[in-house]
């Protein structure tokens, strides 16, 4: 069984990892967990209050196949938790590390994007002072997987879900059908 942990902070963007966790757990039997600073309850940008089951500071990268960093308002503030040791440890052990929206910033701060193709909320969304990988930034409309690193902008939760599940090796034809269903919605919007 695969084990995944999503890191949530106050002001987390509740839509960004909801689909990933629901599909991973509900359809593919992935063991999903949530961690927050101090294990305290956190409230999303939409007002959803969650009591995570794990303490962020006590996470063991060996216990998870994937560490997911949900975006949110904290990642651009001095109050942002330092995830560098956790993310570097996970990457060194060959674990999947993924970030969406401003959840990409901790990956940049940890040096994981210095030589890795990645995306985010748009060109310039990751300040060059944070990392040495600005030349590896790829602008686009879908999540980007580069080995065991997945990055996405805030508007890419569907492709983020797909990229993470593919990286975990649990993707199948059902996932591809599900992805096409969501893509059809966006194609209809373009035509209107």
Domains of the chain: residue spans and CATH: 3-191 (3.40.50.880)
Find out whether 36 and 9 touch, Cβ atoms under 8 Å. Answer: yes
Find out whether 103 and 156 touch, Cβ atoms under 8 Å. Answer: no
Q: So what's the pLDDT on residue 180?
A: 86
* Residue 135: partners with Cβ closer than 8 Å, 6 or more residues away: none
Q: So what's the pLDDT on residue 188?
A: 64
SS3 76: helix
What are 85's two structure tokens?
A: 């040791």
Distance CA 118, CA 133 (A): 9
Q: So what's the pLDDT on residue 190?
A: 67
Distance CA 52, CA 179 (A): 28
Q: Burial of 26 by CB count in 10 Å (0-12 exposed, 13-18 middle, 19+ buried)?
A: exposed
Cα 114-100-136 angle, rounded to 5 deg: 25
* Residue 93: partners with Cβ closer than 8 Å, 6 or more residues away: 61, 62
Distance CA 165, CA 30 (A): 10
Report yes or no on whether pTM surpasses 0.85.
yes
Q: So what's the pLDDT on residue 57?
A: 98
pLDDT of the chain along its 192 residues, tens only? 899 999 999 999 999 999 999 999 999 999 999 999 999 999 999 999 999 999 999 999 999 999 999 999 999 999 999 999 999 999 999 999 999 999 999 999 999 999 999 999 998 899 988 899 999 999 999 999 999 999 999 999 999 999 999 999 998 998 988 888 877 776 766 666
Q: So what's the pLDDT on residue 189?
A: 63
């Amino acid at each position: 069984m695969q084990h995944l942990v999503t890191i949530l902070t106050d002001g987390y963007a509740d839509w960004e990892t909801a689909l990933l966790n629901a599909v991973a757990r509900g359809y593919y039997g992935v063991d999903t967990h949530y961690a927050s600073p101090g294990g305290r309850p956190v409230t999303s940008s939409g007002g959803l209050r969650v009591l995570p089951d794990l303490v962020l500071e006590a996470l063991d990268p060996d216990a998870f196949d994937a560490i997911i960093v949900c975006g949110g308002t904290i990642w651009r503030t001095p109050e942002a938790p330092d995830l560098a040791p956790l993310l570097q440890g996970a990457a060194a052990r060959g674990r999947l590390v993924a970030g969406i929206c401003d959840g990409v910033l901790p990956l940049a701060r940890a040096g994981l994007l210095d030589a890795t193709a990645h995306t985010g909320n748009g060109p310039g969304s990751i300040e060059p002072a944070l990392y040495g990988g600005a030349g590896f930034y790829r602008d686009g409309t879908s999540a980007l997987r580069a080995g065991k690193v997945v990055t996405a902008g805030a508007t890419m939760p569907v492709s983020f879900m797909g990229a993470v599940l593919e990286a975990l090796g649990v993707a199948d034809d059902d996932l591809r059908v599900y992805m096409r269903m969501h893509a059809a919605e966006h194609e209809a919007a373009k035509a209107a």
